[in-house]
A and B are shown apart, each in its own frame.
Chain A
Amino acid sequence: MSNILLELDGVVAGYGDTHVIRNVSLSITKGQRLAIVGRNGVGKTTLLSTIMGQTRQHAGAIRLKGAAITSLASHQRARLGIGIVPQTRDIFGSLTVEENLVAGLRDGSSIEEAFELFPRLKERRSNGGRQLSGGEQQMLSIARALLGKPEIILLDEPLEGLAPVICEMLMGVFHKLADKGHTVVLVEQHIGLALGFAERVIALDQGKIVFEEKAAVLTSNRTELDRHIGLSVR
């Protein structure tokens, strides 16, 4: 039986009539840690949004566990097991931390799981969404996505603008999730962090996959990645 969890086949997508993602084909196996890298504006966020059903798909197919989900709305994809932590975090400012979590609850999940993963949120449970720091907002966004019991979780630049200590803590959480068997797709501009986390790395440029390699190979030969996407690897 195939171990492929998510599959994109010749996907062309964008906003309105504009094509941002151009003929992307990609397979992600169960439990895999995948990093997507690339400069600003190459389509990383659009690729995640397309998987989530939030863009207009012009061509190609997306399959989850072998079943086509191309025509499904984003809430249906979420219920089938795709979770996303958006770059904008999208915390509901008018709700408290606890209420934000309850809004993401599904049958069989409990907000105590979120508090176990992020004890800081338990301390701040009665605070409004607007009263949280950037790091706390990110924790809340991740916890809320996990309450939906996703099999695959898409993380869109989750460390952007956060203090190093918070980045380190969140990377620890991502490792823990992956160790528990979650399939994790990490979009990250910090190549060093991406390589430290992922098993496989793909690079996007102008909406196309221009490079794909095992992270271990890139760690020993970083100039290859630099050549393709023009990013200096730290």
Chain B
Amino acid sequence: MTTPVLSSSPRRAATSLSVLLPSVCVLAGAALAFLMFPYDLSFLTRIVIMMIFVVSFDLILGQAGIATLGHAAMYGCGAYAAGLIALHLSPDPILGLAIGAVAGAVMAWISGLILLRTHGITLLMISIAMTMVLQEAASQARWLTGGADGLAGITVSPLLGLFEFDFVGQVAFIYSVSVLAGVLLLCQILISSPFGLALRGIEGSASRMRAIGTPVYRRKVTVYVIAGAIAGIAGALTAQVTGLVGIEVFNFSLSADVMVMLILGGAGRLYGALIGTLLFMVVHHLAASVDPFNWLFVIGFMLILVVFVLPKGLISLPTRVTQLLRRT
């Protein structure tokens, strides 16, 4: 699954570099942000976690062309699983992260087996319905989830037994950035492997991929499970960093926001997911601080502009500018 695509040595070296590049960029950007905004680390941590979530969505929408509006299901399961583990079993953050990933993956596997047999509107509707069912279930199971009040008082032990989660949020930020860098590395390896190429082939023509012997349904379920695990990790991080999990983790608006962030940045390229998330979260933050009631207007306007002017997202801006310059 992880066989390098390119065959000769210089090409292999180039591939290794391109595999590492997103993680290196994120680490460099995060180090800069850490130094420049030392008092906004909690907001920056939220952005980083959301980036993990959007990257997981990019795997299914951008790579395999699976459009759903229920990605919050896996995020929510990861959040609740990590919260419950921390409250009842072990406060170890790495264990919580692993359990969150497993919960997200299991949810994705169960729902994916049904969802991925459908297409288009049916797929969208069933994915929304599944998340609604989960939200209602979380609301009713008060004995387990705390119902509408949510799971509160989640605390985690020091990271690796050494680094206590501090009030300013430095450890939480570094922890989240490390996880994002790891996730990006995994995704880059995945998308440059034959498995990743098969996904892009499926996005291009599923029938053609079947004709060359690719089990399309199985590949889709596999990538859905991997994306579910990553979304579960994002949910688990949220639970650990905020110390709270509410039924809002299953909100439809969360799934919709994730799609908007990815479309803004550009689907199919991991950088697009990062840029889209950063822009959405920063604009949301600034616009909401200016006008807490009408901030959505700014987001909506931005989305319309990007979809019309840059249909492939902000990531395609340099190419678009170059094309325009050549024309003039």
Binding site for B on A (CB under 8 A): 52, 54, 73-76, 78-79, 83-84, 86, 90, 92-95, 98-99, 102-106, 111-112, 144-145, 147-148
Who on chain B is nearest to A85 by CB?
A: B211
A74–B210 touching, CB < 8 Å:
yes
> How many chain B residues touch the partner (CB < 8 A)?
22
The B interface, classified by DSSP as helix, strand, loop or mixed, is helix
B197–A102 touching, CB < 8 Å:
yes
B213–A95 touching, CB < 8 Å:
no
Binding site for A on B (CB under 8 A): 5-7, 194, 197-198, 200-201, 203-205, 207-216, 268
CA distance A94 to B201 in the complex (A): 8
Q: Which 8 residue pairs across A and B have the least CB separation, nearest first?
A: A78-B213, A90-B208, A92-B204, A74-B210, A75-B210, A103-B197, A103-B201, A104-B212
A75–B200 touching, CB < 8 Å:
no
Additional A-B contacts beyond A103-B194, A112-B7 (10; CB < 8 A): A75-B213, A75-B215, A86-B211, A90-B207, A94-B268, A102-B197, A103-B200, A103-B209, A145-B212, A147-B212
Could you write out 23 A-B pairs with CB less than 8 Å apart? A54-B207, A75-B210, A75-B214, A75-B215, A79-B213, A90-B207, A90-B208, A92-B205, A93-B204, A94-B200, A94-B203, A94-B204, A95-B200, A98-B5, A98-B7, A99-B197, A103-B200, A103-B212, A104-B213, A105-B194, A106-B213, A145-B212, A148-B213
B194–A102 touching, CB < 8 Å:
yes
Contacts A75-B216, A92-B205 known; A103 to B211 CB distance under 8 Å?
no
Among candidates A78, A145, A147, residue contacting B210 with C-beta atoms closer than 8 Å: A78
A111–B201 touching, CB < 8 Å:
no
**B211: A residues at CB distance < 8 A:** 52, 54, 74-75, 78, 84, 86, 90
CA distance A106 to B198 in the complex (A): 12
CA distance A155 to B16 in the complex (A): 38
CA distance A112 to B6 in the complex (A): 12
CA distance A93 to B213 in the complex (A): 19
Who on chain A is nearest to B194 by CB?
A: A102
Among candidates B194, B198, B208, residue contacting A86 with C-beta atoms closer than 8 Å: B208
CA distance A145 to B210 in the complex (A): 11
Who on chain B is nearest to A79 by CB?
A: B213
Who on chain A is nearest to B268 by CB?
A: A94
**A144: B residues at CB distance < 8 A:** 212
B213–A90 touching, CB < 8 Å:
no
B201–A92 touching, CB < 8 Å:
yes
Min CB distance A155 to B, Å, is: 13
CA distance A105 to B203 in the complex (A): 18
**A102: B residues at CB distance < 8 A:** 5, 194, 197
CA distance A147 to B215 in the complex (A): 16
Min CB distance B63 to A, Å, is: 10
**B216: A residues at CB distance < 8 A:** 75
**A104: B residues at CB distance < 8 A:** 212-213
**B212: A residues at CB distance < 8 A:** 78, 83, 103-104, 144-145, 147-148
